[in-house]
A and B are shown apart, each in its own frame.
Chain A
Amino acid sequence: MPHTLSTDTPEGTGALVSRAGKLLIVVAGLAVAVLVLAGCGARATTAPEADKVLAVQSQMPFQIMVPSYLPKEFDRKNVEITVNLAGPGGEPMVQLAYRTKKGATVTLQEWVPVNPDREILSASRPIQTKWGRGWNLNQGDQLAAIWADVGPTRVSIYTADVATVSNERLLAIAETLGPASNEVVFSFDAAPKQIQEMAAPPAFEVPITAAGVQELTLVVTPGGYSPVRFSVKAGVPVKLTFRQLGEVGCGNELIFPADPVNPASLQLDSATDEQTIEFTPTQLGTFEFHCSHQMYRGLLTVRE
């Protein structure tokens, strides 16, 4: 029986169109529902980049970590992974770069530092992370970076797109790092983080010698005073020897509050010269000592 295109059905053309229309609406509705659900991003899934990470894992001598949390703009599936780069001390390093459609990038670099105390992020301040110590470099709207020590691995997370990923969000990313195979990833905003600075180490307590004198050699170096903060006990004599190490320019003159009301000036005549001041502190409190231009500074605490 030949099939022909014909409109003379028992129901008529109008009924046919209305039925087709209903089917189309159903289909469209389903598509919209799928779109809405997918766009929402509310589902937690395994890390889309896990396969990429596991493919290169054997080339790195430590476990590559990925963050559970990343703002949703970042495309995990197309993360750019580069292995066997060299870290700041020459160690094997892996780099993961996540990008958004608009071209913002957040980059993670991971390595196991050979000498963790001597690889330094310039002008960063020490912060607390849930893993322990970290460093935050904050350059306003130009650059934000966090170094975090996660066990033996150091992770550097940074972005030039501070509008999308602020310092606090970087910390949130850092604190959700984990192995790619285990990670359940999410992108809804976590509770906003606060960057907590590391508490400064306690002031160095000047020891009292057997003769009952607090003796200290205060050294000025290109990096500043060493020790930069120290404390002495009131009522006990102090013998302070001032010297320099390396090129310090005008740092060779020390303005020191042995008497807080009338600070003394100690001037070094040469690179090998030493100047000594002896005094007994009485006034309690914390006082600043500095070079003649107040560029090098330190703190003296007189305690009970």
Chain B
Amino acid sequence: MDMKLLISLGKPLARRRWPLAILAIVAVGVLAGGLLFAFAGSPVVAAPPAGATITYNLFATDGYVALPDGRAIYNYGFVGGRAGVPLTYAKSVTPSGADSATGAYDSFTYNGNGTIAGGAPTPTPGAIVGDEAALAGNAQWPAPLIYATVGDVVQIRFKNLGVSANPDAPNDPHSIHLHGLDVNAANDGVPETSVGAVPANAVDDADKPIPGAGNVIVYMFSPQGPGTYMYHCHQEADIHVQMGMYGALVIYNKGDAAAKTGPGANKGGKLFGWDYDKDYVLLLTEVDTRQHGAEDGIFDGDFEGTEYNPVNYHPQYWQINGLSFPNTIHVGLPGASGWADWIAAHPGYDPFVTGSVSRPHSPPGNPKGDRVLLRMINMGFETQPMHMHGFHAKVIGSDQRGWPWANTPKWGEGQEKQTLTIGSGETYEWLLNLGQQSVTSTYPAETQTRYDANGNPVANTQTSASVIDSYIGGPVVSGASGLPTPGQLFPMHNHDDYKATNNGVYPGGMFTIIETLP
């Protein structure tokens, strides 16, 4: 640039201060803007954090778990949780009174929970050390809930601690099969077609470790689609799944409030185009005590001695999230703070469905009431018809795919079911609008279905006559504690009603309640 030219340009301008000033400001502005754009890097609006790494530390081991009627069984399972998140785990019960005819124990001693403030320990390659020893023999029922967001990279560090609650039980290898996540075959967690299952931390008869024992295996996957999945062991799946090696796995969309907490935390999100205000996991399973007794070595068998043939599968207990009624509505769990203990050790697995009938949504014309997403998962060996009283709910998707004919963003009547038949291995997303009902209903003699904070029927506010004590509810429901506030109670249960029993005692089994809140 010719300085003379610049100067000659500048001179006449200098005589006019204001135009020069304006020009200078504009020029500096353009230059500054250009420099800022070139060197600033990220734009003013930051992209949402994507591709976060979510890490779980999981261990496979065995344990003893309570049945709803005071008996107990031997189980296999996983224990652990998210790295760095304080861990509460349920300790195995101590069983007594082995019954060789059924494979179960007649009674047990409850041992409460254990905690690890720093979270599930990272597995240590080799022998069992440190906090791992505390977890050995305390398999969870069901397995810890895994949740993440689309696009995250999930790492599961996995170590097989072997049998500990019963050291004489088969010291089996275990694997993790990510059901529905469509990873490639090598990562599929099937011992016969993927890399081998992880052997137990055991030795052979020459005291040499079995090849692979004590290894820490790091599974990595990146979920591509939101929805309800599960994971389970696939080593001898006919045995290990029944023995308890299954858990729910939930993948959220970016921006879902529930993505920060996991399911069952009263937080919402959006799935397959539908908004929901809260979500629940309802994981359906059964228990045939004879299979558990066979692995435990206490079952005498009816055909072949201690052999249990899975083709003779016939369960005696049916469960939602590892609980049978009335445990499903927080009643009757062992220990002084039964429900509080249980939910602390099994976060995300509350099966008692509640919601507001009046929660407003925008725009104001939309129906009021909580939209509750029920994540139905069948990890048992039977097809289950699940029936809800009082409502129809919309099936918005299944097996991690949206169902387009339900997918119009208006509450119409498409794809609404009150009884949903779920096969083993299937998942369904069932969207329930609690606004279909009011908080209370009116009964003959003008009583209302209101219970006070102690679970007792309240007096009729219209006539001030006292409510017939034994009228409604019965001992099970009126004894329900922890009800948020009084409201209508609608059973949601397996419609094969013999499965709504605990070994034949009704009500029980695969039975929970939907409650309306104000």
**Complex: A296 Cα to B147 Cα, angstroms:** 33
**Complex: A196 Cα to B262 Cα, angstroms:** 41
* Majority DSSP secondary structure for residues of B touching A: loop
Q: Which residues of A contact B222 (CB under 8 A)?
A: 139, 142-143, 160
Q: Does B277 contact A (CB under 8 A)?
A: no
A246 to B38, Cβ gap below 8 A?
no
Chain B nearest Cβ from A181, distance in angstroms: 21
The 8 A CB mask of A115-153 against B (1 = contact, 0 = none) is 100111111000000000000011110110100000000
B123 to A90, Cβ gap below 8 A?
yes
Residue from B26, B122, B173 in contact with A24 in the complex, judged by beta carbons closer than 8 Å: B26
The 8 A CB mask of B196-237 against A (1 = contact, 0 = none) is 111110101000001110111111111010000000000110
**Complex: A142 Cα to B183 Cα, angstroms:** 8
Known: A89-B124, A160-B51. A101 touches B42 (CB 8 A): yes
Which one, B9-17, B336-344, B400-408, B451-459, is touching chain A? B9-17
Q: Does A266 contact B (CB under 8 A)?
A: no
Q: Does A28 contact B (CB under 8 A)?
A: yes
Q: Which residues of A contact B42 (CB under 8 A)?
A: 75, 78, 101
Q: Considering only CB atoms and an 8 Å cut-off, how many residues of chain B contact the other chain?
A: 80
**Complex: A240 Cα to B187 Cα, angstroms:** 32
Q: Does B96 contact A (CB under 8 A)?
A: no
**Complex: A158 Cα to B220 Cα, angstroms:** 10
Q: Considering only CB atoms and an 8 Å cut-off, how many residues of chain A contact the other chain?
A: 74
Known: A19-B13, A27-B30, A249-B236. A123 touches B186 (CB 8 A): yes
* Majority DSSP secondary structure for residues of A touching B: mixed
Q: Does B504 contact A (CB under 8 A)?
A: no
Q: Which residues of A contact B84 (CB under 8 A)?
A: 85-86
Known: A78-B42, A88-B122, A139-B183. A24 touches B27 (CB 8 A): yes
Chain B nearest Cβ from A157, distance in angstroms: 11
In this complex, what residue of A is CB-closest to B208? A245
B9 to A118, Cβ gap below 8 A?
no
Known: A121-B218, A123-B187, A246-B199. A16 touches B19 (CB 8 A): yes
Q: Which residues of A contact B49 (CB under 8 A)?
A: 99, 103
Q: Which residues of B contact A107 (CB under 8 A)?
A: 51, 53, 153
In this complex, what residue of B is CB-closest to A3? B17
Residue from A89, A95, A101, A109 in contact with B216 in the complex, judged by beta carbons closer than 8 Å: A89
B38 to A35, Cβ gap below 8 A?
yes
B214 to A39, Cβ gap below 8 A?
no
Residue from B121, B183, B211 in contact with A221 in the complex, judged by beta carbons closer than 8 Å: B211
**Complex: A128 Cα to B191 Cα, angstroms:** 27
Q: Does A269 contact B (CB under 8 A)?
A: no
Which one, A53-61, A207-215, A222-230, is touching chain B? A222-230
Known: A3-B17, A121-B218, A295-B192. A223 touches B35 (CB 8 A): no
Chain A nearest Cβ from B99, distance in angstroms: 26
Q: Which residues of B contact A295 (CB under 8 A)?
A: 192-193
Q: Does B117 contact A (CB under 8 A)?
A: no
The 8 A CB mask of B81-102 against A (1 = contact, 0 = none) is 0011000000000000000000
Q: Which residues of B contact A137 (CB under 8 A)?
A: 187, 220
Known: A20-B13, A223-B196. A121 touches B220 (CB 8 A): yes
Q: Does B477 contact A (CB under 8 A)?
A: no
Q: Which residues of A contact B122 (CB under 8 A)?
A: 86-90
B50 to A35, Cβ gap below 8 A?
no
**Complex: A97 Cα to B50 Cα, angstroms:** 10
Known: A38-B38, A142-B222. A99 touches B47 (CB 8 A): yes
Chain B nearest Cβ from A188, distance in angstroms: 18
B34 to A35, Cβ gap below 8 A?
yes
Q: Which residues of A contact B196 (CB under 8 A)?
A: 221-224
Q: Does A247 contact B (CB under 8 A)?
A: yes
**Complex: A109 Cα to B192 Cα, angstroms:** 31
B27 to A103, Cβ gap below 8 A?
no
Task: Give me the interface of A with B, judged by CB distance under 8 Å.
Answer: 3, 5-6, 9, 11, 15-16, 19-20, 22-24, 26-28, 30-32, 34-35, 38-39, 75, 77-78, 85-90, 95, 97, 99-105, 107, 109, 114-115, 118-123, 137-140, 142-143, 145, 158-161, 219, 221-224, 226, 245-247, 249, 293, 295-296
Show 6 residue pairs from A and B whose CB-CB distance is below 8 angstroms, ordered by the A residue: A9-B12, A99-B51, A120-B217, A122-B217, A142-B224, A221-B212
